Amino acid sequence: METSTMRDYLKFYINGAWVDPVDSSRTLDVINPATEASAGRISMGSAADVDRAVKAARAAFPSYSTTSVADRVALLEAIIAEYKNRIPDMAAAITEEMGAPATLAQRAQAAMGIAHLQAALTVLKDYHFQEQRGSTMIVKEPIGVCGLITPWNWPVNQIACKVAPALATGCTMVLKPSEIAPFSAVIWTEILHAAGVPAGVFNLVNGEGPTVGAAISSHPEVDMVSFTGSTRAGIEVARNAAPTVKRVHQELGGKSPNVILPDADLQKAVTAGVRGVMNNSGQSCNAPTRMLVPNSRMDEVLAIARAAGEATTVGDPASGATIGPVVSDAQWKKIQSLIEKGIEEGADLVVGGPGRPEGLERGYYVKPTVFGRVNNTMTIAREEIFGPVLAILGYDTVEEAIRIANDTPYGLAAYVSGTDVEQVRQVASRLRAGQVNLNSSAPDMMAPFGGFKQSGNGREWGDHAFAEFLEVKAVLGFAPATKAA
């Protein structure tokens, strides 16, 4: 697919076919954040479109939910084969819609889609949907019709880590991707169609949260809703879902602490911490945005952080720069106001700051920014910025570091670095977060991903993801009770 061609994606995918919206008068320009120009258009759906999609999913559920594991294994294998053919298209779409540098789009963003499909396939092959306990059979059955609402920051990653386990467990579904980054979702849908996903099992309706998202969350025929996005929007999803008592799975915001212990290799840990925040232009919910370091070594830390910040190049996604633009004008303005707030509240500006980087007058580019000597009451230490902005906080004792790390309404991720393995593990055990990364370890596709506190409910990735899409049924008297010997 040529990236220079305008993408007009004006149809929705319902019941195995591309169909016109109920009302085709409402469209939205999708803006390329590197150029600020329109890259294409999508139709904006309504509650009526959601209703059509949900009815299709409901009609497909009785047959799809009773397919064999072997059938679903074959389906996932077909999707993986088709996905492999479309990786260049997927990567190009992601770059265009949300500004990911070409290498990041190819090697990380698009690659995560296939990684989640492969993880679901691996889990499915050995998953126990039945377990006998005495005379009772415990059965795990697909929950039903699932509403999936996904964000723009890792677009296909978030689609895949919901759709893959939903398909694997025998559910049917309606997807609403972010209207800001919808192109990858259309390509994903083309992949599923080409792979032979039965009609009605997967449906796509584009639109915005307050209309399409709310219609999905509140629809009485939707059995569960899985949402990834901001905590504010997640609260709305839960509120809309409450009257129909459907299951709500949420993966929400984060303000993840990165505890660098006194014995850590500072050069390595601080550099990795800065890179971890800057990656994807800081638009990752699990980014290590609060770095906690010993006060006694603050000057050394800030010198290393300055060098790492200055080494983070910004530019056009095709240029080979480390980071591209942030996703939108609204996001750019929000990040700018928070950078200004950091300066106003008295944090030390180590590198970066407000405004666009030099030579980049067009595009939503943000200077890689590091603040030093931040305290945990400052706005930049409390709020999720979702941009390439790091706050460095000092501590005097490890006990104090743990207290500061946990002093947040969020609990998605945490990071710990140090050379004393026992101490690193001990600190990790006391951090209130759903995923703790020790000494910059590599991602694990089977590790559960999700949050404590206001970072959400439930888990994604690997076998833990399956539980979100299953109901547990106990069949008593399934087998004769055995007498005690």
Compute the distance between CA of residue 183 and CA of residue 274 in angstroms, rounded to an integer: 30
Return the closest-CA partner of residue 457 out of 445, 471, 446, 468: 468
Q: Which residues, in sequence order, are CB contacts of 475 under 8 Å at separation 6+?
A: 136, 137, 138, 139
Q: What is the strand order of the sheet 12-14 is part of?
A: 17-19, 12-14, 202-204, 172-176, 145-149, 224-228, 247-251, 456-457
Single-letter amino acid code for the residue at 377 = T
Q: Which residues, in sequence order, are CB contacts of 161 under 8 Å at separation 6+?
A: 112, 116, 449, 460, 461, 465
Return the closest-CA partner of residue 352 out of 316, 388, 304: 388
300 classed as catalytic? no
The count of other CB atoms within 10 Å of the CB of residue 377 is: 9
Compute the distance between CA of residue 264 and CA of residue 262 in angstroms, rounded to an integer: 6
> Contact 299/394 with Cβ under 8 angstroms?
no
What angle is formed at CA 331 by the lines to CA 150 and CA 383, rounded to 5 degrees?
A: 85
Instruction: Tell me the CB-side half-sphere exposure of residue 132, using CA atoms within 13 A.
Output: 8
Spot the catalytic one: 97, 285, 384, 460.
285
251 classed as catalytic? yes
DSSP bridge partners of 473:
139
Burial class (CB in 10 A: 0-12, 13-18, 19+), 51: middle
Spot the catalytic one: 97, 179, 251, 460.
251
Q: Which residues, in sequence order, are CB contacts of 285 under 8 Å at separation 6+?
A: 153, 228, 251, 252, 253, 254, 384, 412, 455
DSSP bridge partners of 351:
370
> Contact 56/15 with Cβ under 8 angstroms?
yes
As annotated, the active-site residues are 251, 285
